[in-house]
Structure 1
């Protein structure tokens, strides 16, 4: 019998084209022909959209997708739901008191669930990639119990942002806050419960209770390096491992290179966290960086079109160290300086890139030199040589997988660039006619699998509209069993209802 908590999740992504398309976003309204008509203010507003709307698929995102889905599925596979209508478990959802009749427990005989650690330089795209990843997953699903008005809540994931100089006491409170937000509790409820609980071990037990009550699949601790590990007892991190052992939940960590020493001085912790994903490896690949620049420079607001030569690519690489956030910031400032320059406009080339970098980012060289030698950090120096060597071995596999992704993306880059250019305008045009964006995207993605060949934008639109307006056929037959489906609908923009799920009820 299928596990309903797993059945309600979206399937893993195996198609490289679909993955690249998901993480690659261009600017839908961009047209170089309109640049000459724009005021300086309009140009500044337009180029600033590069910071928030421009996205490109990065090599570690495939590994992140796989690790996240695997961790989530294993989290539910290692646990069992126990339900008893006589049991009355108080809960609070959308700031309303409800009674639940079930809890999910991990099997003590099973080994602890391992997850992943996403680590890399600041600005390489870790948090942004995580946000893009989670867009495909409903955060909360309410499963309807057949023949009853009861619901079984499933919190698929929690994102907990670690605060600067915080400790594990505050982390547990933040988990309560994240549960409140997931359940739509505008007034703090579970945050207050954990806040009022005295003692670190008691707070940990409250977190375990929340995991078992709301069937939480995975907890993602973002910016883990901000925790004050210096004044935090070593056994505090062991507390997280205790939660994993007791519930079989997945706990993943996301952070900068500082987290290497702060979390993994004890190699045992590194292995227990699970897969190590190095988000920084793409910054060393020159061919991959050239692809990123090529896609980025399809959007420019200079007076004349700029063709990027080898010297300019090298300058962009040297000044940004290949880090996507710094690259985009540098590119934006290249435009801002250009707009504000009075009289004759400067020539945009490699020297221009280096000049803008010196003018607006004088700190960048000093900062990026530190990235070349992460062991220069005082905390990292304290890490033992043995631990460092083992961590390099653990990260080697991640680096190899990322290189494979980079090679595939370079191979498909021209095709994906063309698709990314036309995708948003086509979807927007059809959406304006009155069709649902999600359904349009589904049809567009189906076309990509079949191959767009030499279809014009008009033909693509016609094909999608034809597919959307096609009457839906329903299979009929007295003897044919109805296939059970999970229907999810929005509830207060937070929850989803799942009907037709059958649970194994153990009393």
Structure 2
């Protein structure tokens, strides 16, 4: 059965078990099949995503460059808050599996007991289930990059892992759902069944997700399926939509999340804007349950290292003809017009390039950034002005950007890494690799030319010359250019024709006036002999 399942799941991978150093994780195949735990430096490398870019693209026609600019939407430069989120999610996922080891004697019993609890037929809850799962909440301003960050982190993990004999199960490592726009728990359950069916090819939606099923029935089946398929973590995005729920819908959904964590053992991560705090802080009990890994609150980025790292990395992607160096004035203008909101900063940079191409200015200036912000980001201007004012009375008008009145929420002092230094090292490493690659290409071109019976010194000279002039050319192109260079060097030097002395030309010109040929003119002047004179006896 697993072989058939494996063939039908293109996004699944067969379990490869890694040795676990921590005793909490040893002997648990659900944890052993996960990727190794990343250090901060490893997480930085894994999370970074810099789309392909070639300087030559700046010389393409305007309509092609317009289509290249949206590539910036895929750009992702991790900063310290992203690395912190990766570590918290890693802990959430792994510790959620500690109490759910399919090799343990009590695993089947735990499944049955949890199912009875969900049906309301039992009171006891297995201690080792609820003691390991936890939850945490990520709140932040709209556009700060919460969803993008968690999706980058989820991409580090396979979503499905197939465990063969003797376990014989398909592990769902993570499942991400969006909270329905109306805050309906029933809609959330239906979406859950649909997502599971798409992943596994099952028919849970047809069996349990129709509208005729009650919410309590759906919730029961949802919890049972989550346990049965070993869901590692459930991520609920846009949690602020619970504010629109009717008839105590938000309270029902929050209670359901609590049940998943405490009684079924499924970790839950909730993501939302600042509006979500009114839901999560309805009472201390719910707020505490959303803080198993500690709350994360992402407000606007402040000027400093993280902001500079982001802008400097993003600034490499330019499709305007006149490359613009990042100055302090440009950096501060971009911050002032975006107020540290990452999504707005990226859009401003992209839109400014589009404006530069459109107007044929082919450059970016602080004035252009301000003009683009005024013309193309009109809808968010009131929120940005509120943030810029710093006045609580203005900021309170927009719940999505309402700062949390809490102490500094990100403490990196004890496990910080110098991101600027890390990026500089990566640049130096890329430059070193490029130099090694060029040296290798140079050697190959020289050897190929010598193999064509070319002179060794001339081959080296030709290869060095063309590689210096055309560093981005392929090896085949360099060979062609080197052969052309050698051919030009080996052409025989054509001697210039001897010029006729001026006085002889004068004699010829004078003869022309007398209607005499050049021969007759030179013969009369005794510069040449009459051939017949040689035969006179």
With structure 1 as the length reference, what TM-score do the two structures score? 0.69
**1:60 and 1:279 in contact (8 A); partners too:** no
1:363 aligns with one of 371, 374, 379: 379
Q: Mean alpha-carbon deviation: is it higher for 151-160 or for 105-114? A: 105-114
SS in 2 for 1:55: coil
> Does structure 1 residue 23 correspond to structure 2 residue 47?
yes
**1:5 and 1:154 in contact (8 A); partners too:** yes
**2:330 and 2:365 in contact (8 A); partners too:** yes
Give the corresponding residue for 2:254.
237
Alignment of 1:442-457 (within 5 A): 456-457=436-437
Alignment of 1:460-499 (within 5 A): none
Give the corresponding residue for 1:40.
62
Give the corresponding residue for 1:126.
146
**2:162 and 2:170 in contact (8 A); partners too:** yes
Counterparts of 2:381 and 2:416, CA distance in 1: 26
Greater relative contact order: 1 or 2 (C-alpha under 8 angstroms, separation 6 or more)?
1
Check 1:411–1:181 CA distance in 2 against 1; reply closer, same or farther (3 A cut). same
Give the corresponding residue for 2:455.
none
SS in 1 for 2:137: strand
Counterparts of 1:206 and 1:216, CA distance in 2: 14
Counterparts of 2:415 and 2:47, CA distance in 1: 13
More strand by share: 1
Check 1:192–1:409 CA distance in 2 against 1; reply closer, same or farther (3 A cut). farther
Counterparts of 1:262 and 1:411, CA distance in 2: 41
Give the corresponding residue for 1:224.
239
Give the corresponding residue for 2:190.
173
Alignment of 1:296-311 (within 5 A): 296-311=314-329
Give the corresponding residue for 1:163.
180
Residue 454 of structure 1 deviates from its aligned partner by 9.1
Counterparts of 1:83 and 1:180, CA distance in 2: 24
Q: Mean alpha-carbon deviation: is it higher for 223-232 or for 329-338? A: 223-232
The C-alpha deviation readout for 1:203-225, integer Å capped at 9, x for no partner, is 22111111221121111101211
Residue 32 of structure 1 deviates from its aligned partner by 2.3
SS in 1 for 2:301: helix
Counterparts of 2:42 and 2:76, CA distance in 1: 15
Check 1:4–1:293 CA distance in 2 against 1; reply closer, same or farther (3 A cut). same
Check 1:238–1:13 CA distance in 2 against 1; reply closer, same or farther (3 A cut). same
Residue 194 of structure 1 deviates from its aligned partner by 3.1
> Does structure 1 residue 257 correspond to structure 2 residue 282?
no
**2:79 and 2:306 in contact (8 A); partners too:** no
SS in 1 for 2:171: strand
> Does structure 1 residue 399 correspond to structure 2 residue 410?
yes
**1:35 and 1:301 in contact (8 A); partners too:** yes
The C-alpha deviation readout for 1:19-70, integer Å capped at 9, x for no partner, is 2222222232x2324422x111111111121113x22113221122111111
1:142 aligns with one of 134, 158, 162: 162
Counterparts of 1:163 and 1:191, CA distance in 2: 20
Check 1:196–1:49 CA distance in 2 against 1; reply closer, same or farther (3 A cut). same
Check 1:127–1:74 CA distance in 2 against 1; reply closer, same or farther (3 A cut). same
**2:320 and 2:356 in contact (8 A); partners too:** yes
Give the corresponding residue for 1:409.
419
Give the corresponding residue for 2:359.
341
SS in 1 for 2:227: helix
Counterparts of 1:370 and 1:192, CA distance in 2: 50
Check 1:180–1:377 CA distance in 2 against 1; reply closer, same or farther (3 A cut). farther
Counterparts of 2:185 and 2:216, CA distance in 1: 10
Q: Mean alpha-carbon deviation: is it higher for 345-354 or for 126-135? A: 345-354
Aligned length: 394
Counterparts of 1:58 and 1:279, CA distance in 2: 15
> Does structure 1 residue 182 correspond to structure 2 residue 199?
yes
**2:179 and 2:237 in contact (8 A); partners too:** yes
Residue 164 of structure 1 deviates from its aligned partner by 1.4
Q: Which runs of 5+ in 2 are unaligned?
A: 1-25, 113-123, 443-537
**1:21 and 1:416 in contact (8 A); partners too:** no
Alignment of 1:287-326 (within 5 A): 287-326=305-344
Residue 460 of structure 1 deviates from its aligned partner by 9.5
**1:167 and 1:228 in contact (8 A); partners too:** no
**1:289 and 1:322 in contact (8 A); partners too:** yes
SS in 1 for 2:340: coil
**2:144 and 2:299 in contact (8 A); partners too:** no
More helix by share: 2
Counterparts of 1:294 and 1:237, CA distance in 2: 41
Counterparts of 1:379 and 1:305, CA distance in 2: 39
Alignment of 1:187-226 (within 5 A): 189-190=204-205, 192-196=207-211, 198-226=213-241
SS in 1 for 2:150: helix
Residue 300 of structure 1 deviates from its aligned partner by 0.9
1:73 aligns with one of 85, 94, 98: 94
